[in-house]
Structure 1
Amino acid sequence: MPNRRRTYSVYSNSPTEEHLVHVLDLLQRFGYERVELANGDWDLLWAHDYPFTRNPSLKQLGDHQLVNHLPGCGYLTNKVDLCTTRLPFLPRAFRLPGQRDEFLEYAAAHPDVLFVQKHNEHRHIKVKAPNDIDLKSNKSFVQEFIQRPFLVDGFKFDIGVYVVITSVNPLRVYIYNGDVLFRYCPVKYYPFDAENQDKYVVADDYLPSWEVPSLRKYYNSYGGSMRTSFEAYVRDQHKDPSQIWTQVEHIIRTTILSKEQDITNSLRAYKTHKFFDLLRFDLFIDEDLKVYLMEANMSPNLSSAHFKPNALLYEQVLYSALNLVGIRPVTDSGTGSSKLSEIVTADKNLATGLNNCANNDCNKSCNKAECSLCVPCLSGTEYEMLRSAHDEHLHRIDMKRIFPKPIHNFGTFDIDVETRNMTKRNAWISRWFYNKCEYDRNWCT
């Protein structure tokens, strides 16, 4: 019997596919063939737009099928919903007109604060004093404007961190660790002028790293990435850039956890949970190196049409993300990696806490909580969850796991404290990684 070919389909409302060039090119290089969405038997659906509203068939996916968005991902990517969530690293925001009175009370108590009024599509952003805000505007929100940004050569900037959610309940989250997208405003921030948005709003014609004077030598002459060139500049200012990334990981992890239950509820209507999401979290940094979250983007820009040097970043992000979720180059025999999964992951690869399992006789009874991770006590669903986690760990390329939380010092990491307020499934998967880490430090981070 001949091997089944590996296929993909595309869902996009755009009249062109310029924004998908790197996606389509990489899938072709992987040996995947494109088929029509109506074909129904594709292996991967790459959706640029939210696909679930118009495609009810996605509620009945086959076991071999995978979609690049999570049902309910809008809880993270809707600008108004996210920005009005009360999290300490989100500048204070108010939904209009519903939270008009709260906004006026906050503005009166903080007379020096400026605000930006935004709509859900995030266009036409402008800094305003409270008296200039249109309080009757529907589907908009006002957000506090952080006035003392960290600057590079006088330019304000934002950073875009690529994030992959591979599973919900239990949650598994990774960030692309190979580089970060840095976008600089084209006009220097000072002297500040609210009328000149090029001073404080990153638009399509942003200033790239390789044109920022102090970064040019690191990026162009010494082979630095956007991230490492920026870090070199921060060290030149006698500051420690490592504190930035600790905050970034905490912010992304905390934000996704705050919306996990909403996404889990959305998933209940779906037969399988064969979904993942590649997002970009946009953040900015103040002069004290405190990090703030701006937004999370569904289907972030992966087109290098405007900035050709970004092509490598997008290709490497995609390569790592696809490998992570099991979309890998097709072998000469015409099969993907699924046929090899039994070789890659077996019972011995998932087994942890052997002494604990034996001491509690978990091969005779699974009633004790101590037996929940012992192989004889795993349900079929749980076994598949651990198999996926194991497979991701082996194929993550340049992805770094940030949930379950990385363990940097096993001796001081208190798993009981870390899991105390988690859902049952998240605590369970966190303990599995903890057990794996105990005897193999490769599993700690």
Structure 2
Amino acid sequence: MIPNCTFSCVVFPRYLTVAMPKKVRFAVDAERCVVMQNFAERGWIQVSPQEDWNIYWARTQGCRDVFRVDNRFRLRDDQMVNHFPNSGEISRKDRLVRNWNIYCRSWKKNKGSLQDMDFLPTTYILPGDYSMLVEAVKRETGAMWIVKPASSSQGAGIFLINKLGMLRRLSWESKPSSHSSILSGSYVVSKYIDNPLLIGGKKFDLRMYVLVTSFRPLKAYLHRQGFCRFCTAKYTTSVHELDNNYIHLTNVSIQSQGGEYNCMHGGKLSVENLRLFLESTRGKEVTEKLFASISWLIMHSLKAVVPVMANDRHCFECYGYDIIIDNRLKPWLVEVNSSPSLFFTTQKDYFLKLKIVDDVLSIVLPPDGFPSAKWDKTPSRRAMGDFDLLLDEELAAS
């Protein structure tokens, strides 16, 4: 039975500096059942963010407030937060694209080929890249493009186009006062992956969880228990269905509103079952190659933001990677979420996310379980739980 989890919201604090408490004191700024459950099982003491805490599990904005230039508070060695100060460098779609393009230029200069780096769909950032987008749409007549607000989440504001006129019409209808510009705010327009791998005739994407404990040196872990998120309607590329989100967008927040949504399994399939399906239909060798490519994709997307990421020894972050697999078993990076949803739709979903948070805490905390920014965050194999080491530049250099 899923426990009843109702917690009051709190606001950002004026921090206090007091003697280190005997027990871990934690604060949260939103209702997160699986986080609270993990803290309770460890016997930790909840405090308001206005009080003295050792771990602050915050929204990204809450973390940015901690590190504001005009905030004179400085974190002690026994305090940790669950985001890096500028995590938007990888989680904002426009910044991810910019950082990735810079990384690829450097890779090409040093390696000479981008063949191994082809896992981000052709993408343009509006309004700056509008002229290049126009040329691309003209050049690839009839191709489908997906338009996304740069900083949105849960599928908000996303739509598909196959003609440039659709971009103008949709933006002007939704923003009647913005005729002077193509779109209000920053958008990304990506070549739509129109040949996705289908299971049961339906499109899905893959949600993978990646923990980063340091960007310099880069230390990252990949969790084994990701899952697939399925659309509720069968896939088609018909131009008459471009605006049917139940066909094209896998976000649970969208699919759960449809009449075909199954509350029993939540429209999800575990990574373990996906592996078994692919091994039985495509073979073990190609399946292993696919998951090796996914690890490669994640590792280099993290390396791409290392030069711009504000690394801080008090920080850790668990990212939610969204990946599309095409019918040739090639993975494509869709986006990276700095606050992947910890809301659960089924009991299985609840235990999965409870386990992920437990494993995160076991890795980022020293063996004695008390937060310490001085600790080198090098856990034992047992402490890693279902996380596997993706990359540790410190170990690789030793």
Matched, 1:198 2:237: no
Q: Percent identity?
A: 19
2: distance between equivalents of 1:244 and 1:101? Answer: 35
SS class of match (2:274)? helix
Amino acid at match of 1:247: S
Partner of residue 92 from structure 1, selected from 100, 112, 122: 122
CA-CA distance at 1:283 after TM superposition: 0.5
| Contact kept? 1:184, 1:208, Cα under 8 Å | no
Amino acid at match of 1:299: S
| Contact kept? 2:206, 2:227, Cα under 8 Å | yes
SS class of match (2:220)? strand
1:408-439 deviations in whole A, cap 9, x for unaligned? xxxxxxxxxxxxxxxxxx4x54222xxxxxxx
| Contact kept? 2:263, 2:346, Cα under 8 Å | no
1:73-119 deviations in whole A, cap 9, x for unaligned? 11011122224543621111111121111111222332242101111
| Contact kept? 1:50, 1:69, Cα under 8 Å | no
Residue 310 of structure 1 is matched in structure 2 by 349
CA-CA distance at 1:238 after TM superposition: 2.9
Partner of residue 321 from structure 1, selected from 331, 356, 360: 360
Matched, 1:23 2:63: no
Residue 23 of structure 2 is matched in structure 1 by 5
1:246-275 deviations in whole A, cap 9, x for unaligned? 111111110111001111xx34xxxx6211
SS class of match (1:388)? coil
Matched, 1:431 2:397: yes
Q: Which runs of 5+ in 2 are unaligned?
A: 1-18, 105-117, 169-180
CA-CA distance at 1:210 after TM superposition: 6.8
Amino acid at match of 1:187: A
SS class of match (1:51)? helix
Amino acid at match of 2:301: T
Matched, 1:116 2:160: no
CA-CA distance at 1:392 after TM superposition: 5.3
Q: Which runs of 5+ in 1 are unaligned?
A: 216-224, 329-335, 342-380, 405-425, 433-445
SS class of match (1:62)? coil
1: distance between equivalents of 2:21 and 2:338? Answer: 34
Residue 65 of structure 2 is matched in structure 1 by 54
Matched, 1:237 2:281: yes
Amino acid at match of 1:93: T
SS class of match (2:216)? coil
2: distance between equivalents of 1:276 and 1:47? Answer: 12
Residue 299 of structure 1 is matched in structure 2 by 339
| Contact kept? 1:164, 1:174, Cα under 8 Å | yes
Residue 397 of structure 1 is matched in structure 2 by 385
| Contact kept? 1:170, 1:429, Cα under 8 Å | no
1:57-87 deviations in whole A, cap 9, x for unaligned? 5861111111100111110111222245436
2: distance between equivalents of 1:162 and 1:242? Answer: 18
Matched, 1:127 2:141: no
1: distance between equivalents of 2:366 and 2:63? Answer: 21
**Structural RMSD (CA):** 2.8
| Contact kept? 1:165, 1:276, Cα under 8 Å | yes
Residue 158 of structure 1 is matched in structure 2 by 205
1:144-196 deviations in whole A, cap 9, x for unaligned? 1011000001010011100110012111000112x112110000003642132
2: distance between equivalents of 1:33 and 1:211? Answer: 34
Aligned CA distance change for structure 1 residues 23 and 51 (closer, same or farther; 3 Å): same
Aligned CA distance change for structure 1 residues 2 and 244 (closer, same or farther; 3 Å): closer
Aligned CA distance change for structure 1 residues 312 and 58 (closer, same or farther; 3 Å): farther
| Contact kept? 1:156, 1:200, Cα under 8 Å | yes
SS class of match (1:23)? helix
1: distance between equivalents of 2:306 and 2:289? Answer: 26
Residue 115 of structure 2 is matched in structure 1 by none
2: distance between equivalents of 1:3 and 1:146? Answer: 52
| Contact kept? 1:26, 1:319, Cα under 8 Å | yes
Higher RCO structure, 1 or 2 (CA under 8 Å, sep 6+):
2
| Contact kept? 1:325, 1:392, Cα under 8 Å | no
Aligned CA distance change for structure 1 residues 188 and 6 (closer, same or farther; 3 Å): same
Q: TM-score, normalised by structure 2?
A: 0.77
SS class of match (1:243)? helix
